Every structure is written in C-alpha cells, then in structure tokens.
Chains A and B, each alone.
Chain A
Amino acid sequence: MSSRRSRASVSEEEINELISRLQTLLPSAPRRGSSSQASTTKLLKETCSYIKSLHREVDDLSDRLSDLMATMDHNSPGAEIIRSLLR
C-alpha cells in the first residue's frame, strides 16, 4: 500500500497539472495564471474557503432536513418517497 517512490521529488509539471485540475473545479472563473508561487497560493486559499463553504452548506442543509423530517409523520408520503427512491 505505501509504495516508496523511486524519485525523490515529484516533477513540477505534475503538480501544475493537478493544480490546474483543481482550478477547474472551483466555482470562480479560471484565470490565465502563471505557475508562480503567488497564484498557487491564491488557488489553495480559494480551495480552502470553498471547502469550508461546502462544509457550512452541508451543516445548513442537514439542519433544514432535520427540521423537515421532524414535521413529517413516519408513515407520511415523505417516507413513501424515500422508500420508493430506494427501490
């Protein structure tokens, strides 16, 4: 599982490619950035804030879901829908 890499350092290109792939995932418009340190840092910072905002959304949505489920009866149509989706 933990295979040792033969080369000591990962090539710069691979890192840049991974970073550009990350950039396409982010919601902000892709910048024609150079592979300098500054834009990488900014990209990482954006990724951090994006992940944090996604966490917050999950929290918020689970809060709303719990409210919605609380107002539902157990045998109500909502549970029926869940069961039908699972089938």
Chain B
Amino acid sequence: MAAKRTAPPPPPPTPNPIPNRRALASGAGSASPSKRMLAFHFLRALSRISSATPVACRTRTIRRAAYFSMARAASPRRSWSRALLRQVRVRRAVRSRRAVLMRRRVVSAAPAPPLGVRSISAGQITSAPLAGAPPPRQAGEPARADALRRLVPGGGEMEYCSLLEETADYVRCLRAQVQLMQGLVDLFSGQ
C-alpha cells in the first residue's frame, strides 16, 4: 500500500474544473447536445468505480464504463446504442451464469461455455457474429461493408443505408468520448 501520507498540494478549489466544464459546454452547443450527458454518465460511472473495484481489472471496467455511458448518452433511437446496451446486459447475465458453471465444473465435468460467450467475455465491444444469419446484401454494397458491420455494434443486421447512418453517429460519439477522456486524463495528470 504505497499510500502517500503527505497530501499533495491542493489545487485551486473551484476555478480548475470550470474551464473544463466550459469547454464541454461550448462543445455541446456546436456538435450535439449530448456532450454534457456523456460527461455526466461517464463521470458518474468513474466515481462509482473509484470506490468499488479492485485495481487489477480496473482498466477493463473503465473501458466498459466508457462504452456504456456512450450508449446511454446517445439517443435510444440509434440502434448501435441499443445493441451496446444489449451487449452489456448479455455480458452480465453471462458472467453470472459462468460463475455458476465454474462452480459446477469443479464438482462435475460440465460442458464448456460456447465460443460466442468467450468472445464477449474477452472484453470485445464489437457485435458478436451471428451464426446462420447472413447480413442482407444490397445492390451496390461493396465487400468492405462487412468489415464495417463487424466494427459497429449491432451492424450485423442492418441494411446498408442505415449502416452508413449508424456509422456516422457512432464515429461522432466515439470522437466525443475520446475527447472527454483525454480531457479527464489531462485534468488528472496536470494536478
């Protein structure tokens, strides 16, 4: 426990966070009103993490919190946000089921969990490949669209046109999330 006993020099109480907030607010007007929601969700998740998680899997938890707050802040009309939230729910159910299975496996030889489960628990946020459900191909859709479908959550089932829309929105939100996290890192490391 390398806890520093000597308190670090306290930063100025209020003016420090305000430039950050103003930057967020000014960004909120231009791009989309969800930048503030993004900050709110992510910061709330972060504050919950700092009190309740062991250090080992903290990175994974933070990353999951990032995507989760991104999906929360986005409008639920967007199917990528719905797909992300669905993944989180599935992952939670899977984790609890896996815990039960692991306990059972110690006792008796239970069958191993299916492969799709393992790919989800490996921490990937991409859409799980649907076995036996080929994505609807449309006229003029290039072969590259398959790779894009794999990257965007929930992209395996969309039509080409909606895939493009969802991709644009996903890219915008991802960029906002990256900017937010970068701002937080700067804020913390500048103390």
Contacts and interface: CB of A to CB of B under 8 A. Distances in A.
A66 B59 contact: yes
Chain B's interface: helix, strand, loop or mixed, by majority? helix
A40 B142 contact: yes
Nearest to A19: B164
B188 to A, nearest CB: 4
Interface residues of A, number: 49
B44 interface: yes
A22 B11 CA distance: 42
Interface of A: 9-10, 12, 14-15, 18-19, 21-22, 25-26, 37, 40-41, 44-45, 47-48, 50-52, 54-55, 57-59, 61-66, 68-70, 72-74, 76-86
Interface of B: 3-4, 7-8, 10-11, 13-14, 16-17, 20-21, 39-40, 43-44, 46-47, 49-51, 55, 58-59, 62-63, 66-67, 125, 138-140, 142-145, 147-148, 151-152, 159-161, 164-165, 167-168, 170-172, 174-175, 177-178, 181-182, 184-185, 187-189, 191
Given A26-B171, A48-B144, A69-B50, 18 more contacts: A14-B161, A15-B140, A21-B168, A41-B144, A44-B145, A44-B147, A45-B147, A50-B171, A51-B148, A51-B171, A55-B151, A57-B178, A58-B67, A61-B182, A68-B185, A77-B8, A81-B16, A82-B50
